[in-house]
Structure 1
Amino acid sequence: MQESVLTKLFLPLSLGIIMFGMGLSLTVQDFRRVLLYPKAVMIGLVNQIIILPLLAFAIAKTFPLSPEHAVGLMILAVCPGGATSNLIAHLARGNVALSITLTAFSSTITLLTIPFLVNFSLDHFLSRSQSIHLPVLETMAQIFTVTLLPVVLGMIVHRRYPKLSHRAEATVRRVSTVLLAVIVLAAILKERHHVVQSFLQVGPASLALNLASLAIGMLSAKLLLDDLKQSISISIESGIQNGTLGIMIAATLLQEPAMAIPPAIYSLVMFLVGFVAIAIFSRMVQRSEQNQPAGA
């Protein structure tokens, strides 16, 4: 995706609106929930901040990806979960409060980790002569502007005008969904001459990353926790990444069209897998509730 009005203006603006919509549903209390779910939050953050990038690195080394596509997969893996993960957690009957808490904390932490891990990926998968430098401070400033700042503004609106934010949240969420679809389609259309070949090259790796991260999230939570709904939220937060942010980093900050393909294709795969996950997880919760003794 070459530098254009889409990448310079529309993409960051759309991401800002999406994150603002997430902020409309957040309160300071959501951040304090770490005290209520310390173990669950730690498991979720370890999965997302540490295990997911390691998993993506292993997949990038295992699958026959071009260096640019390998970097794109790593960019995706170091991005936090987005508002989509909260929606899927809700539909899958997971613990939504935990999902929101994990999204809020991971969005804050990855503000610091993204520049360093992306630069590591550039250095590792591209030769020194081809490597593209990602300025740390500039990257942190831009990511803060389009992600964390809109969330904070949304939280301020929610605090000062709770009724207005409650009415606006559903509309903003719908607009965000449409914008996300437009961004993904635009990223693919920009590379439409290579999209079939790119899907064949990147699709299996994207699917493997999506399924493996969901599975590891669920298994680790089931082993360490005794709460199905918390396990579902941890699984979803581990396996549903902010593809929009990944596209922005690749297309706007790095201005590398090939690197934007894995986040774009992953976003399509993610939605398909997400619908299946919703059906499976909802059934698991339903069965669990049916098996509980009366009055439990």
Structure 2
Amino acid sequence: MKRIFKFIEKYYCIIILLFVFIALSYPSSFNWVVSDYADINILNLLLSIVLFTMGTTLKVDNFIRIFKNPKEITIGILAQYFIMPILAFILASIFSLDAALTVGVILVGTVPGGTASDVMTFLAKGDVALSVSLTAVSTLLSPILTPILTLILVGNQISFSPIDMFLSIVQIVIIPILLGLMLNYKFPEFCMRLREYLPAISAIVICVIVAGVMGANKQAILTSSIVIMVVIIIQYFLAMALGFIIGYLSGMDRKSIITIAIELSFQNSGLSTGLAKTHFPNLTAATVPGALYSIWQNFAGSIMAYVLNRHFDDSD
């Protein structure tokens, strides 16, 4: 059984492409992902599962690190919630994206860092503890900052309720993380054993989310995929490059620089698709950028992590 989970973890970037192929070939096979069951939004439930698994890997020590290393944490969070939203807004404006795609791209920029960044940081020989801390802190700040930043960037053009977005982020993100944190506190040995399976479980859940969004928006993706893919790729590489530059100019060591770059470019794209579907129901294509970003960041990120892993060792 462990071998299967390790296989999924190792070949995640290929598996997600397989899910996308199935979703585009047989869109109805993943309709259940974007539907409701007994008044429960399945997509948001799946997101909560991913965040719960993240919570089970966290300890209070991860938050104590904030006070021990305020420089790296402060720079990382400021970059996350300043550079990414502005970058998203500029790209949406330059490429004259329509309202739906603009919302989607901006949500990708205003959501917190993604949990996959921790895995990529490990593979790229970055500072895993710093990555976990940055992901945790940016996620805990997201109920306040994501609605505010989204309102600033799109509120004048598109009506939505930042308060409702705040409440949904608390439900989708904060509560599952706190439950996972409590489980790890009460049953640390159980969570330690569970940790071997969590990356693969999260990977499959993310694949299902992406497939569901891709299948539901097949037509929109096929008609606008070239432009939006260009935007997504530029958004990813600019975020990565700016992360390296910020880390270097801040005088960080190599491991921290790699971590900041990965953390800045890896977004919680699943959350952006969930927020788009929940709070912009009339803009169905708003879920597309998040789904495409998820595919690209994991595909390109895996290659980047492999390259960095081959060119550096722990003694550098």
Normalised to the residue count of structure 1, the TM-score between the two structures is 0.90
Distance 2:40 2:105 in 1: 22
Q: How much identity, in percent, do the aligned residues show?
A: 27
- Given the superposition, is the C-alpha separation of residues 42 and 268 from structure 1 closer, same or farther in structure 2, using an over 3 Å criterion? same
Does structure 1 residue 16 correspond to structure 2 residue 77?
Answer: no
Distance 1:81 1:226 in 2: 20
From 255, 278, 282, the equivalent of 1:229 is 255
Which range moves more in the overlay, 199-208 or 58-67?
58-67
After TM superposition, the structure 1 = structure 2 runs for residues 164-203 of structure 1, keeping only pairs within 5 Å, are: 164-203=190-229
Q: What per-residue deviation string (whole Å, max 9, x for no partner) do you get for residues 19-58 of structure 1?
A: 0111111001100101222111111111101111111111
Shift, 1:8, TM fit: 5.0
Unaligned runs of 5+ in 2: 1-30
From 48, 72, 80, the equivalent of 1:40 is 72
Q: What per-residue deviation string (whole Å, max 9, x for no partner) do you get for residues 198-245 of structure 1?
A: 211210001111000011011110121241111111111100000100
Does structure 1 residue 151 correspond to structure 2 residue 177?
Answer: yes
4+ aligned runs moved over 6 Å, structure 1: none
Unaligned runs of 5+ in 1: none
| CA RMSD between the two structures | 1.9
From 68, 87, 91, the equivalent of 2:119 is 87
Does structure 1 residue 74 correspond to structure 2 residue 106?
Answer: yes
- Count of matched residue pairs: 283
Distance 2:210 2:81 in 1: 24
Distance 1:166 1:198 in 2: 44
- Partner of 1:152, secondary structure, is helix
Does structure 1 residue 208 correspond to structure 2 residue 239?
Answer: no
Distance 2:277 2:180 in 1: 26
- Residues 34 and 213 in structure 2, CA contact (< 8 A), matched pair in contact too: no
Residue of structure 1 equivalent to 2:36: 5
Distance 1:77 1:138 in 2: 19
Residue of structure 1 equivalent to 2:61: 29
Q: What per-residue deviation string (whole Å, max 9, x for no partner) do you get for residues 52-94 of structure 1?
A: 1111111111123212211110011000012111111111111
Which residue identity does 2:104 align to in structure 1?
Answer: G
- Partner of 2:57, secondary structure, is coil
Distance 1:253 1:67 in 2: 14
Residue of structure 2 equivalent to 1:275: 302
Distance 2:64 2:171 in 1: 23
Distance 2:97 2:159 in 1: 18
- Residues 72 and 260 in structure 1, CA contact (< 8 A), matched pair in contact too: yes
Distance 1:200 1:226 in 2: 37
Which range moves more in the overlay, 138-147 or 16-25?
138-147
Distance 1:148 1:97 in 2: 20
Shift, 1:3, TM fit: 6.6
